[in-house]
């Protein structure tokens, strides 16, 4: 079970029967608003309230890697763009949908929906 603490810490609970072990996986020092696994469960996207997206690979148990920073655009959410793990899509409050490369964090495309967006 993965979850994030308010302080920006990614925590893993390894639950076996009635016992569990807690492991701190990454500290990104920004409140994490959402976590999304890739379709093949090899990568985890950590999305912050400030609009920064990090990648964490559970099998490698390394640090979270900063992929992109959209802090200038009232960022709401991001998720993997399937199939595969090479791209992600984000959305801003103003209704702009953006596509990013997860290999180098480069911006690829955008579409303006023309309406304000809310996450529910």
For residue 43, what are the domain limits? 2-112
> Do the domain assignments include residue 7?
yes
Supply the CATH number for residue 16's domain. Answer: 2.130.10.10
Residue 105 phi/psi, 5° resolution? 75, 15
> How far is residue 30's CA from residue 85's CA, in Å, rounded to a whole number?
24
117 part of a folded domain: no
Q: How many domains does the chain have?
A: 1
Q: Kindly report the pTM of this predicted structure.
A: 0.74
- pLDDT, tens digit (0-9, with 9 covering 90-100), for 58-105: 887 778 888 877 665 667 778 888 887 888 888 888 888 989 888 887
Cβ burial, residue 75 (10 Å; 0-12/13-18/19+): buried
Give the model's pLDDT for residue 70. Answer: 65
């Amino acid at each position: 079970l993965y979850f994030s603490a308010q302080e920006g810490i990614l925590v893993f609970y390894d639950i076996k029967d009635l016992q569990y072990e807690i492991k701190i996986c990454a500290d990104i020092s920004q409140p994490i608003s959402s976590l999304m696994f890739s379709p093949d469960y090899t990568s985890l996207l950590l999305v912050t309230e400030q609009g920064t997206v990090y990648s964490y690979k559970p099998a490698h148990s390394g640090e979270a890697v900063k992929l992109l920073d959209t802090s200038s655009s009232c960022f709401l959410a991001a998720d993997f763009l399937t199939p595969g793990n090479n791209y992600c899509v984000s959305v801003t409050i103003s209704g702009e949908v953006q596509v990013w490369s997860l290999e180098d964090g480069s911006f690829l495309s955008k579409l303006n929906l023309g309406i304000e967006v809310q996450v529910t």
